Amino acid sequence: MTNLRVLSIASEAVPLIKTGGLADVAGALPAAVAPHGVAMTTILPGYPKVLAALGKAKSVHAWPSLLGEPARLLGGKLGEHPLLVLDAPAYFQRDGGPYADGAARDWGDNWRRFGAFARAAADVAAGAVKGHAFDLAHAHDWQAAMTPAYLRYAGSALPSVMTIHNMAFQGHYGADVFPALGLPREAFAIDGVEYHGGVGFLKAGLEAASAITTVSPTYAREIRTAEFGMGLEGLIRSRGERVHGIVNGIDTREWNPESDPALAQRFGLRTLHKRVANKHALEAEFGLDSHDGPLFVVITRLTWQKGMDVLLEVIDHLVGLGGRLALLGSGDAAMEAGFHAAAARHPGKVAVRIGYDEALSHRMQAGGDAILVPSRFEPCGLTQLYGLAYGCVPVVSRTGGLADTVVDANLAALAAGAATGVQCNAVTYGALADAIDRTIALHRQPDTWRAIQRAGMKSDFSWGRSGKAYADLYASLVEAA
């Protein structure tokens, strides 16, 4: 098999820097496509955390001025796979997060930071760095989306893939930023980077890329509609057959209950009875009452997307039915306060950790009975996949990747032994309360519950099929070019 050389352009990747699922996916992709003849190199911005992990690295290229600031390219490793890091101190050497400062305000120069990142990635993909040649560029989300546009306006024939992990974030800026992006005048056009009179990064990438993917088949259909397309539905529809839905897998080296070092007690399909030790440990860790009743967990960004406002309304109902809730998350300040208030109202029944804690998220998947994911939209979603792998039954809204990965415990699915979770019809008080009622009723039947857990643990959440789907797509685009 010939090796295709792909440059994956992402603004975050596990294990170096993570704010959400994009990092899990970008971190897992090189290993997912490797068995299918793809040699993937990842390029990341040189945030302090990334540079610290890199240690003493070799500089392989330099730009005297990248959209106005000097930058160099460092070589390193992302796990076992090649990594390039854009060290541009003026853009990336700052305290705070990758996209926002410590007070959660977006950096005012994000357009220049990620414009520069994409410009550099386009140069690298097109062969500017000796010893690093590529057959295709794969850009993830708006932060990388200008890469296909830069390639296009540089006249490069290199094929490119643009993956949408979340249509809600588009990188939309005023027309005044256009001159500083260093694109030819003609790029400021309706079929170029222009969007509602300004510059749209994601829009530009979707126009320029050879193919578009998103992270589940259902979301690929949903973004053709006004409800989910967030203004770009017309463009998505116009690209027709070139839009593909490829569902995310999970990294089973990081997420395996049989070998997970974070757990109080490891377990597997054949040793499911051992799992209860993790539940007791989790109850103790959260200061919750300890009993056999259902323990719900939530691990999420606290945002409107994730339906957390509706969960806040349903908590009293959940507790009234004998349920308990442990939540780990951060985000919207009003939601954080709401969950703190719920915990104060229901001591021993509801407990909240505000913050980001990777190891705790593993312990929660291992100790919770069910994980609640009531998202209003969810391109793929990963926490329900981790739930499946860990016997933590997902209770999800029927949208995007949640609809594609969780089989609802309706009568037919239960009879066929296919049920892996509970789907809720809508993100409303009534629908979520109903899904919680159904979950609690199922949990009262231990044999049925165990069958649902087992079916989930056996379901295919690996990267196998999707790794091949990406590789096949790359190969078809390279061939067509």
- Choice between 162 and 199, CB closer to ligand ADP: 162
How far apart (Å, rounded) are the C-alpha atoms in residues 356 and 181?
34
Among 8, 11, 42, 166, binds ligand GLC (CB under 6 A): 166
Q: How far is CA 19 from each of CA 12, 170, 346, 380, 430, rounded to the nearest angstrom?
A: 8, 17, 30, 16, 31
- Measured distance CA(147)–CA(131) in Å, rounded: 20
Among the residue ranges 7-15, 121-129, 376-384, 460-468, the one whose residues contact ligand GLC (CB under 6 A): 376-384
Residue 20 contacts ligand ADP per CB under 6 A? yes
Give the shortest CB-379-to-ligand ADP separation in angstroms: 7
Write down the least CB distance from residue 102 to ligand GLC, Å: 22
Beta strand 194-195 pairing with 198-200: antiparallel
Give 98: exposed, middle or buried? Use CB within 10 Å, 0-12, 13-18, 19+: buried
Q: Does 380 bind ligand GLC (CB under 6 A)?
A: yes
Alpha-carbon distance 221 to 244, whole Å?
9
Asked if 97 touches ligand ADP (CB under 6 A), the answer is no
Residue closer to ligand GLC (CB basis): 43 or 350? 43
Residues in the chain: 481
Buried b (16+ CB within 10 A) or exposed e, 30-53: bbbbbebebebbbbbbbbeebbeb
Residue 278 CB partners (closer than 8 Å, separation 6+)? 263, 264, 265, 267, 363, 366, 367
Size of the site for ligand GLC (CB under 6 A): 14
Contact set for ligand ADP, span 329-368 (CB under 6 A): 329-330, 356-358, 361
What is the C-alpha separation between 46 and 68, in angstroms, rounded?
17
Least Cα distance to 326 among 358, 359, 387, 370 occurs for 370
- Tell me the per-residue interface mask from 432 to 461 with ligand ADP, x by CB under 6 A, - otherwise: ------------------------------
Tell me if 381 contacts ligand ADP by CB under 6 A: yes
Residues 219-248 that bind ligand GLC (CB under 6 A): 248
Among 328, 402, 403, 452, binds ligand ADP (CB under 6 A): 328
**Does the protein bind ligand ADP through residue 394 (CB under 6 A)?**
no
The contact pattern for ligand GLC, residues 390-409, with x = CB under 6 A and - = no contact, is -----------x--------
By beta-carbon proximity to ligand GLC, the closer residue of 275 and 306 is 306
Q: How far is the CB of 294 from ligand GLC (least distance, A)?
A: 25
Q: Looking at beta carbons, which residue is closest to ligand ADP? A: 21
What separation in angstroms does the CA of 288 have from each of 352, 420, 451? 10, 26, 26
Interaction partner, residue 215 (ligand GLC, ligand ADP, none; CB < 5-8 Å by kind): ligand GLC
Which stretch in 135-143, 287-295, 375-383, 447-455 sits in contact with ligand ADP by CB under 6 A?
Answer: 375-383
Name the residue type at position 141. Answer: D
* 3-state DSSP helix/strand/coil % of the chain, to nearest 5: 45, 20, 35
Q: Is 165 in the site for ligand GLC (CB under 6 A)?
A: yes
H-type alpha helices, 292-331: 308-320
21 binds ligand GLC (CB under 6 A): yes
203 Cβ partners below 8 Å, 6+ apart? 145, 170, 172, 193, 195, 232, 235
Binding partner selected for residue 210 from ligand GLC, ligand ADP, none, CB under the kind-specific 5 to 8 Å limit: none
- Strand duo 69-78 + 172-173: pairing: unpaired
Interface region with ligand GLC, contact rule CB under 6 A, candidates 15-23, 36-44, 93-101, 147-155: 15-23
22 lines the binding site for ligand GLC (CB under 6 A): yes
Q: With binding defined as CB under 6 A, does residue 301 bind ligand ADP?
A: yes
- DSSP string covering 342-357: HHHHSTTTEEEEES--
Q: Of the candidates 190, 191, 192, 194, which has an alpha carbon nearest to the alpha carbon of residue 176?
A: 194
Which tokens sit at 245?
A: 């839905």
Cα separation, 258 vs 267, whole angstroms:
5
Q: Which stretch binds ligand ADP (CB under 6 A): 145-153, 374-382, 410-418, 469-477?
A: 374-382
Q: Is 299 in the site for ligand ADP (CB under 6 A)?
A: yes
162 counts as binding ligand GLC under rule CB under 6 A: no
Given the rule CB under 6 A, which residues bind ligand GLC? 20-22, 25, 165-166, 215, 248, 378-382, 401
Given the rule CB under 6 A, which residues bind ligand ADP? 20-22, 24, 299-301, 328-330, 356-358, 361, 380-383
